[in-house]
Amino acid sequence: DAKTTQPTSMDCAEGRAANLPCNHSTISGNEYVYWYRQIHSQGPQYIIHGLKNNETNEMASLIITEDRKSSTLILPHATLRDTAVYYCIVRYLYNNNDMRFGAGTRLTVKP
Amino acid sequence: GAVVSQHPSWVICKSGTSVKIECRSLDFQATTMFWYRQFPKQSLMLMATSNEGSKATYEQGVEKDKFLINHASLTLSTLTVTSAHPEDSSFYICSASGTGESYEQYFGPGTRLTVT
């Protein structure tokens, strides 16, 4: 069973920041928060992950609340190619645990 | 990041036949591989987890005799759909995970199976 809840869908204007929320209120102390996205008919693409500190890479930023019960993925300047389903997943990192997907958020970037 | 490939990318087979899908880790040793299935407009559903050299662990509701998984080497896992039926038509995705820094999961591009 997925341990996260996300909005079903969101729209974002091209060039604006896309902020995708995720609730994971039952997260345990050694579970990481992962974000993947899936563009139609492709395998999931890794975006970013974090434990408790905010993280940033070339694709996105991940903001995790202090109590770790929720997080936000930020795409700073959304493009049309960012249209995809975004999945927020919590997972133990160091014992080859499987990754279970919830329904995700369908982000549509509009011109 | 590490690369995982799948072959074929798409396949059409007749009802009653078997089809094999390969998943390869190209630049790391995958001690664990995972197989997912995705129906249209749905999320990925984990089917089974396989560790190199041992039997796969199947999720509840997944028939192990129908979906045969072999993980004979650290770079290759195969999923064989036996006696395929039209309801087996789906998008099959594998992922691979190693050890140490490679505990991360890397996903393949998926295989589209259509059973006619």
Residue B52 has pLDDT above 90, yes or no: no
**A101 close to B (CB below 8 A):** yes
Question: Looking up tokens 């899908």, which residue turns up?
Answer: B21
Q: Which of A41, A58, A89, A105 to mutate to test the interface with B (most CBs of B within 10 A)?
A: A41
Q: For residues B88-96, give the mean pLDDT.
A: 96
Q: Do the beta carbons of residue A76 and residue A13 sit within 8 Å?
A: no
- Distance CA(A81)–CA(B29), nearest Å, equals 32
Q: What is the pLDDT of residue B1?
A: 66
The shortest CB-CB distance from A96 to any of B45, B93, B103 is to B103
Please give the mean pLDDT across all residues of chain B. 92
Express each pLDDT in A79-103 by its tens digit.
999 999 999 999 876 656 778 899 9
DSSP code for B59: P
Chain A neighbors of B34, CB-CB under 8 A: 98-99
Closest residue on chain B to A87 (Cα): B43
Closest residue on chain B to A88 (Cα): B43
Q: Where does residue A97 rank: exposed (0-12), middle (13-18), buried (19+ CB within 10 A)?
A: middle
Q: For residues B1-25, give the mean pLDDT.
A: 94
Q: What is the pLDDT of residue B103?
A: 63
Q: Quick one: how far is CA A56 from the chain centroid?
A: 13
DSSP code for A5: B
Residue B95 has pLDDT above 80, yes or no: yes
Angle at A90 between CA B93 and CA B1, to 5 degrees: 55
Residue B47 has pLDDT above 70, yes or no: yes
Q: Do the beta carbons of residue B90 and residue B10 sit within 8 Å?
A: no
Q: Report CB contact under 8 Å: A99, B95.
A: yes
Q: For residues B45-55, give the mean pLDDT.
A: 90
Q: For residues A53-75, give the mean pLDDT.
A: 96
Grade residue B89 by pLDDT with cuts at 50, 70 and 90: very high
